[in-house]
Amino acid sequence: MVCAFTAVLLLGLALAGPEGRQRLLTPERTPVPVSSAVSEVAPEDGRFPGLAPVALSAEAIGLHSSHVVELGLTDQKRLEAPEPWEAVGWYALGEAPGETGAAVLAGHLDSDTGPAVFHRLKQLEVGDTVSVARADGAVAHFAVYAVEQYAKEEFPTHRVYGDTQEPELRLITCGGDFDDVGHSYEDNVVVYARITEAPGNSG
């Protein structure tokens, strides 16, 4: 089985309306080399110097990943799929973790060979801690305040990607039933978390 996400069409910081929602394709259907994704997404204006996430952890579900890749948009204006399956993808055209706004990290639920990086994401509960380490050595800590599941056609674009008054985090994966015809899951699981401790040096 493979995992596909619901994505939204975003240009810069502008939110698209419901008509901009698109499904994120799996790597088999839209190959996106990591090197290509990084070169296309990395800001050249120094918007995120040293702020890119490099590791993600959530002790409550045994999640520890130091394989983080940058995600941008495909030629069809769809969110790229993280590769490989164990990688966490950061939407690098959005916000950096720990900065004001909603930072978005996506990961696969499973693969053709077994569980993927976010296979236990739905087990997070309100109050659980999620920590994101950045390239500058700082670590931002977030507390989960909601875990929700949506049918892909009802994906809440504005709630997930919209502006926030403080640093927040969104973790997205697949959920619900698997569609054998479409070769993807019918739902998305979204974890919402808000900052509890501003980024500080981990040392």
Residue 46 lies in a domain: no
**Mean pLDDT, contiguous 10-residue spans, the chain (203 residues):** 46 27 31 30 48 96 96 78 91 93 94 91 98 95 97 89 94 90 86 90 57
182: left (phi over 0), alpha (psi -120 to 50) or beta: alpha
H helix or E strand, kind and range, residue 158: helix 157-161
Residue 44 lies in a domain: no
CA gyration radius, the chain:
15
pLDDT score of 12 = 26
Range of the domain at 97: 5-11+19-39+51-201
Neighbours of 158 (CB within 10 A): 12
Q: DSSP letter at 60?
A: G
pLDDT score of 72 = 86
Bridge partners (DSSP) listed for residue 91: 71
Bridge partners (DSSP) listed for residue 8: 21
pLDDT score of 74 = 78
How many structural domains comprise the chain?
1
pLDDT score of 187 = 93
Residue 45 lies in a domain: no
In CATH, what number is assigned to the domain containing residue 60? 2.40.260.10
Considering the entire predicted model, what is its pTM? 0.77
